[in-house]
Amino acid sequence: MAHCHGPVGLKNIPEGAKKIVLAGNPNTGKSVFFNYFTGLYVDVSNYPGTTLEISHGRFGSDVIIDTPGVYGISSFNDEERIARDIILSADMVISVVDAVHLERDLFLTQQVIDTGVPVIMALNMVDEAERQGLKVDADLLSDLLGIPVIPTVAVQRKGFSEVKERLADAKTGHMTPGLEPLISRLANRVGSQGEALLVLEDDPLVAERHGLKPENHREEIYLMRRERVNDVIKHVLKESTEGATFGSLLGRWMLKPATGLPILALALYAMYYVIGVLIAGTVVGFTEETIMLEKYEPAVRGIVGQLISAESVLGTILIGEFGLLTMTITYILGLLMPLVIGFYFFLSLFEDSGYLPRIATLVDRLLTGVGLNGRGVIPLILGFGCVTMATITTRLLGSDRERRIAVLLLGLTIPCSAQLGVIAGLLAGVGGWYVALYAMVIFTVLVIIGTIMDTLLPGKSTDLLIDLPPLRLPRLDNVLKKTGTKSYNFLKEAFPLFALGALIISVFQVTGILEFLQNLLAPLTVGWLKLPKEAATAFIMGIVRRDFGAAGLSNMVLTPEQTIAALITITLFVPCIASILIIFKERSKKEAAMIWGASWAVAFLVGGIVSQLHSAFGGDGGYTGALGIILAFFGMTLATVIACRLAKRDKPRGIAG
């Protein structure tokens, strides 16, 4: 099949000069290769139609062209569009690959091979790979890809002379299995294997210049390419402990289920113990009770009481039970802020140490079952900090299908940091079986909803491509700075909404609407959830913010089983006002409205099922009732997963020819 050697679109390219293009992911060392080949004779110019600067220089009678670091060639952004056009016009590509991140980098190399351009690979950073206990069989890699592979160390210029000497050996390589029949069908029409590939991969710009419509095969081709790369990796990459540092070994243990899951459980337990026991018990006991309830509130009531009557409407709104100057300030500063700071401290520790992306890799296979991949754990974990922010970060997911599932799971099953802190504090007083019951119910709802969405929505999870930074000791100044910034942002966002919620509740109280709503909702709260009718106030507060509602529950006298039913309901309750506004912005109005409505239904349905099951099991206050409910939810989850698997079994897969 022909390969197109069209104009590259850059100035000062001598006529007849071969175009040798450097391609690679970001931070693979391409610039060191470029400087070695070109020396001081370098031209830098804006690529036509963009503000991006492209470097090129003479190499004998030929020219070396550097490209932006990219993970693929397509039309997703300017960098990829430029890399795509330069590579498609190249006579030869030097693919610079990071040996430490071989699995990630090979995807681009294989895509370049699929374009039909001759390729030679510089397998860079082999010294760093060896320090991490990674052994790459370069000869076997060369055989499998069908191109020369030369180990290099860019900072020491090791292997550079061999790359230079073997440029003439560059080969077109072995195409991704299964692609050739598709490309053959189009190559004669567009005149180029590379352009045929990009039309198949839904590139609208390449399709338009040939008068064609993009063909809807990107996802299928990417999956085939990923399977090809995974197969190559399985054969050429070996891990060993020889020469590996402790940090490398620990980072590797974090990725393997046998060792990674116990490490994750230990980290989460430490987080629960510090936030749920130490902070929620000791710290909040001091800030809420000693400072706010014993010192602050009497003082503010005394000052305001000198000006207006505490029994007046204005007095009730300012310093009453749900007062703007009493309950709002006490909840935010005395109850929630210590818990929020504690959560963000742990989140910052995970981020700064490099543990967060390892969690994503560890749970990749688990999340595939609910329609996501490991990258989905990032918005889910960030959702424990703030669902609003996490909803925005779903943009990093690989497909609209994954974004839709992640937004629904965030809105439905993930409590934010403030809510989580209150929940952890309340759980600390109900006993281990009820803690397990709460965790099991929320987890099963996530699995059931995710599995159903994965079955109903067309397509499948994309493969996980994620950078794993070196594992390191977190820097305390970084951690404290991140914790402070995130906690301040929480305060800025939460305070106005809390004040609004307190104002609404106070107005409802003085007008009698609150008691009316409590009586109106009594069949739901008392009959179905088996809670006091006053619990309706917490759910009304939860419409403004779920953590506001959870805080309202903290002041009620509830039995352990009532506490669990109330916490499950408020956890699954509607997203806060800020989150639902973002969901409306990120998704369609119809989808956002469905999420909001589904949250109401699922929250009360699941909370009520827990209460009713507890009564059905005899209302036992010990472990028997909790164990029975856990087994019931486990059975429901298992039945849902099996039913969805059977429903998906006959769905057609593969590429239409």
Is 203 annotated to bind a ligand? Reply is no
- Is 458 annotated to bind a ligand? Reply is no
Q: What is the Cα 6 distance to its own chain's centre? A: 40
**Please, how many CA atoms are within 13 Å of residue 311, restricted to the half-sphere of its CB?**
0
240 is in an annotated binding site: no
Question: What residues form DSSP beta bridges with 97?
Answer: 123
Q: Is 574 annotated as belonging to a binding site?
A: no
Gap between the Cα atoms of 518 and 525, Å rounded: 9
Would the annotation count 67 as a binding residue? yes
Residue 241 among known ligand-binding residues: no
C-alpha count within 13 angstroms, C-beta hemisphere, residue 102: 31
Judging by beta carbons within 10 Å of its beta carbon (0-12, 13-18, 19+), is residue 7 exposed, middle or buried?
Answer: exposed
Q: Take residue 22 and report the two structure tokens written for it.
A: 């450097």
Residue 125 counted as an annotated binding residue: yes
Residue 24 marked as a ligand binder: yes
Instruction: Supply 310's token pair.
Output: 């505490």
Question: What does the block give as tokens for 161?
Answer: 């002379």
Residue 231: count of CB within 10 angstroms of its CB: 12
The alpha-helical segments, DSSP class H, found in 146-276 are: 160-165, 180-190, 193-200, 204-208, 218-236, 246-253, 257-272
H-run or E-run covering 407: helix 400-413
Q: Which two three-digit tokens encode residue 18?
A: 């071969």
Q: Is 92 annotated as a binding residue?
A: no
Would the annotation count 51 as a binding residue?
yes
Q: Give Cβ neighbours of residue 284 (< 8 Å, ≥ 6 apart).
A: 334, 335, 338, 339, 425
- 126 labelled binding-site residue: yes
Whether 474 has a binding-site annotation, put simply, is no
Find out whether 650 is annotated in a ligand binding site: no
Q: Which tokens go with 32?
A: 């060191």
66 is an annotated ligand-binding site residue: yes
Which of 639, 629, 636, 635 minimizes the C-alpha distance to 435? 629
189 vs 192: CA distance, rounded Å: 8
Q: Can you spell out the DSSP letters for 607-637? A: HHHHHHHHHHTT--SSHHHHHHHHHHHHHHH
127 annotated ligand binder: yes
Nearest to 500 by CA among 332, 298, 263, 296: 332
Annotated ligand binding at 28? The verdict is: yes
DSSP 8-state class, residue 158: B
478 is in an annotated binding site: no
Distance CA 618, CA 615 (A): 5
> Per the annotation, does 444 bind a ligand?
no
In this structure, the number of other CB atoms found within 10 A of the CB of residue 11 comes to 10
Report the C-alpha gap between 601 and 419 in whole angstroms. Answer: 20
To the question of whether residue 527 is assigned a binding role by annotation, the answer is no
Hey, what are 289's tokens?
């009770």
Close Cβ partners of 468 (under 8 Å, ≥ 6 residues apart): 101, 251, 354, 357, 358, 361
Q: Is 91 annotated as a binding residue?
A: no
74 in a known ligand binding site: no
Question: In whole angstroms, what is the distance from residue 639 CA to residue 645 CA?
Answer: 10
Check if the beta carbon of residue 417 is closer than 8 Å to that of residue 341. no
Q: What is the three-class DSSP state of 370? A: coil
Element (H, E) at 435: helix 432-456
Alpha carbon distance 424, 419 (integer Å)? 9
479 is in an annotated binding site: no
d(CA 122, CA 140): 15
The residue with tokens 């503010």 is 300
CA count, 13 A, side-chain hemisphere, 249: 7
Per the listing, tokens 């006993």 go with 431
Q: Is 368 annotated as a binding residue?
A: no
Residue 38 among known ligand-binding residues:
yes
Annotated binding site: 24-31, 35, 38-39, 49-53, 66-69, 124-127
Annotated binding site for Mg(2+): 35, 38-39
Annotated binding site for GTP: 24-31, 49-53, 66-69, 124-127
